[in-house]
Structure 1
Amino acid sequence: MAFQRWQIGLDIQNGQLCALGIERRRHGWQLRHWWQQPVPHDTLRNGVLQTTPLLQEMLTRWQRHLPKRYSLRVGLPPQLVLQRTLPLPETSLSEPAMSRYVASSAQRLFPVEPASLSIDYRAAGKASQICITAARREVIAQWLSPLKQSGLRPDVFELSSLALTQIAMRMPLQRDQLLIHPLHDHWLWTLAGEQTTSGAGSEPLTLAQLRDTFPQAAAVFCTSSQILSEPGVTCCKPLSLLQYRQPPLPAHEGDFSIALGLALRPEDA
């Protein structure tokens, strides 16, 4: 166990920053660290992280409390990322042939010069498909800048909506059940099904509106006990997914849903 490292999720939103570190134990996950700070409501502009002296100082101070060995996963707003599914070729491909196949397919999947994109891929819901994600390199560079200047070493940038899906999978959310995560200026959702889907919304968050948008939803869960506190909505407690946790714990554990989902994200093969 001496060679274990923390898996850390970092969720930066307008209004607040949440980070959470976990470590694998014999019988589950242990909460090792959590950190929450208020930040200005213009910290993200159109989803792009703005480097400021305040943010820089905050991240530098936080970095000093981290162990030497960690895997840092950072959440990206959904609007920054393009996603497409791609059928797998009939002939099984291994690396580097698979990467070449994805790169050549990206030229027709995304209406952007491929050289300007940072591209990643993973298995999709169907075994015959892969999911390709693409983000502009300049946007990733803007997110990377304050992190690197603070001495942080991000391993992965992940869609925040997919981080919420990690929570939904472990609850586990049953078919046609909906999980909502409210934020300052938008909300994230995950709907379980044959192919679990996720995304973001900016409409007023009410149960009636959710019923209109997701008529197939058999049940609605929410990470906040203060927002969407209507009859018919069940509050979920994400930290219950961790087998080992000791006080002090966050007063509003739902705030850490995305950070926890990022931390729980499986390592890339």
Structure 2
Amino acid sequence: MAFKIWQIGLHLQQQEAVAVAIVRGAKECFLQRWWRLPLENDIIKDGRIVDAQQLAKTLLPWSRELPQRHHIMLAFPASRTLQRSFPRPSMSLGEREQTAWLSGTMARELDMDPDSLRFDYSEDSLSPAYNVTAAQSKELATLLTLAERLRVHVSAITPDASALQRFLPFLPSHQQCLAWRDNEQWLWAT
């Protein structure tokens, strides 16, 4: 297992950064490490990185512990994204035209320049629509610059999963984390 790629989920929160590293085996996943790194006040405020330099300084020792073969799935605060569903256009579009159409539609919806947005989309399986998630380019650029400074390999940036947050009040007082997994993914909340 020494040469397997660590898959790391990193969640930057207001008071701390939480990370979990796993390695996939033939039939199951194996926990390699987990980290809880306290952050000083005002580094992250309302899901937005305010002091990227201090955040990098805090995370640098952590990043040096990682093996060279790793992939980081970085959680982006869902509160900093916009998620919408748009009906598919009446005419059939190629992938490039479809992307341009969604970019323009989302930009008009937000009254923003299309170049200031980054988005991802998927087809809705229940209706003829696209589910679109968008974020501001500058906020994603901050995350990518941070990853570059830390010399970590980010393979995905996705909105954080807030689905488990509502269950935290029901945990016993000595437990501070809730984790869930299926065959495809892991979710956790702290």
TM-score normalised to structure 1 length: 0.58
Between stretches 110-119 and 140-149, larger displacement belongs to: 140-149
Q: Is the 8 A contact 1:116 1:137 kept in 2?
A: yes
> Which residue in 1 is equivalent to 2:88?
88
Q: CA deviation at 1:45?
A: 2.2
Q: CA deviation at 1:152?
A: 1.9
- Aligned residues between the structures: 186
CA distance in 2, matches of 1:53, 1:104: 34
Change (3 A) 1:124 1:42: farther
Higher strand share: 2
CA distance in 2, matches of 1:7, 1:122: 24
* Higher RCO (Cα < 8 Å, 6 or more apart): 1
Q: Give the letter for the 2:120 counterpart.
A: D
Unaligned 5+ runs, structure 2: none
Q: Give the letter for the 2:179 counterpart.
A: P
> Which residue in 2 is equivalent to 1:118?
118
Q: Give the letter for the 2:136 counterpart.
A: R
CA distance in 1, matches of 2:58, 2:12: 12
CA distance in 2, matches of 1:146, 1:103: 26
Superposed, 1:72-221 pairs within 5 Å as 72-89=72-89, 93=93, 95-124=95-124, 126-160=126-160, 163-165=161-163, 179=164, 181=165, 189=166, 221=167
> Which residue in 1 is equivalent to 2:168?
222
Q: CA deviation at 1:236?
A: 8.2
Supply the RMSD in Å over aligned alpha carbons: 3.3
Unaligned 5+ runs, structure 1: 166-178, 182-188, 190-220, 230-234, 244-255, 260-269
Secondary structure, aligned partner of 2:112: coil
Deviations along 1:14-48, one digit per CA (max 9) or x if unpaired, are 21110011122122221122111111232212321
CA distance in 1, matches of 2:77, 2:86: 22
Q: Give the letter for the 2:104 counterpart.
A: S
TM-score normalised to structure 2 length: 0.78
Q: Is the 8 A contact 1:9 1:72 kept in 2?
A: yes
Q: 2:179 aligns with which of 203, 220, 238?
A: 238
Q: Is the 8 A contact 2:118 2:137 kept in 1?
A: yes
Deviations along 1:230-256, one digit per CA (max 9) or x if unpaired, are xxxxx98416x489xxxxxxxxxxxx8
